[in-house]
Amino acid sequence: MENNSAKVQSLIAAAVGIIASIEFPRQEWLDLINIIVNTAQHQQPSIRKTSMVLVINVADEVEAKYLNDEQRYMFIDAIMRNLVYDPANVEVAKMALKGFLNSLKYADKLFATEAERNVIMQKLFEAYEKLKDDQDSMVTLMNIFQDIATKHYDYVQFYLKEFATITGVFAKQGDEEVAPQALEFWSNLAEVEIDRR
């Protein structure tokens, strides 16, 4: 797991994700979750980054129904612990953000609990503050916000000020990738509201 080659890490993580998609439904290979969680807390940033790459791939392949609540929580917790800005380890935070995008499907029960939801949202808003100069991270963050808007619509109201501030900044900057997503965030909210009527 300490291999610094991003290409090798990516290939191995993709393979592990595919294997997990086969084995998790059969309740096999579940120790992988503990391995990911433990490596996500390692002192060495390269190992934490590799752990986040594994999270991205496993979450991309494994449906939420194959994990129990504790396993889902463990995934989200590992991500949140790494969604901390450290100037020396920015790549770990970027990977954690991507990991959360893929793992949002595991957070349904956490969003239903105010304290847990507040921690998650605070981490995401902090990620914006710390990574706002990185376009890829902002694209990922806007994808997360759009997913939250559609999947967790009932909770968006508690964070409207923060969403308005961030999307307003993106819209004003006029970045060709992020600005349209900022507008799409509000469009998604409107669509959900219309669908509920």
Q: Which single residue is written with the structure tokens 């592990």? A: 16
pLDDT at 129: 92
pLDDT tens-digit map of 61-106: 999 999 999 999 999 999 999 998 777 788 999 999 999 999 999 9
Helix (H) and strand (E) counts for the chain? Answer: 11, 0
- Other CB atoms within a 10 A radius of the CB of residue 35 amount to 14
**Residue 126 falls inside a structural domain:** no
Distance between CA atoms of 180 and 184, rounded to whole angstroms?
6
pLDDT tens-digit map of 91-150: 999 999 999 999 999 999 999 999 999 999 999 999 999 999 999 999 999 999 999 999
**Residue 185 falls inside a structural domain:** yes
Are both 1 and 86 inside the same structural domain?
A: yes
- Other CB atoms within a 10 A radius of the CB of residue 115 amount to 8
Integer CA distances (angstroms), 71 to 32, 37, 67, 104, 168, in order: 10, 10, 6, 13, 36
Distance between CA atoms of 86 and 179, rounded to whole angstroms?
26
Structural tokens at position 63 = 């449906």
Distance between CA atoms of 114 and 182, rounded to whole angstroms?
25
Confidence bin at 4 (pLDDT 50/70/90): low
Are both 94 and 46 inside the same structural domain?
A: yes
- For the cut 80, the answer to whether the pLDDT of residue 6 exceeds it is no
**Residue 117 falls inside a structural domain:** no
Distance between CA atoms of 18 and 57, rounded to whole angstroms?
8
pLDDT at 3: 44
The conformation of residue 131, written as its DSSP 8-state character, comes to H
**Identity of the residue numbered 172:** K
Q: Are 45 and 92 in contact (CB under 8 A)?
A: yes
Our count of domains for the chain comes to: 2
Are both 20 and 104 inside the same structural domain?
A: yes
**Identity of the residue numbered 197:** R
Are both 157 and 104 inside the same structural domain?
A: no
The conformation of residue 142, written as its DSSP 8-state character, comes to H
Integer CA distances (angstroms), 33 to 37, 62, 76, 77, in order: 6, 12, 11, 11
Are both 138 and 87 inside the same structural domain?
A: no
Q: What is the pTM of this model?
A: 0.90
**Residue 1 falls inside a structural domain:** yes
Domain that holds residue 103: 1-109
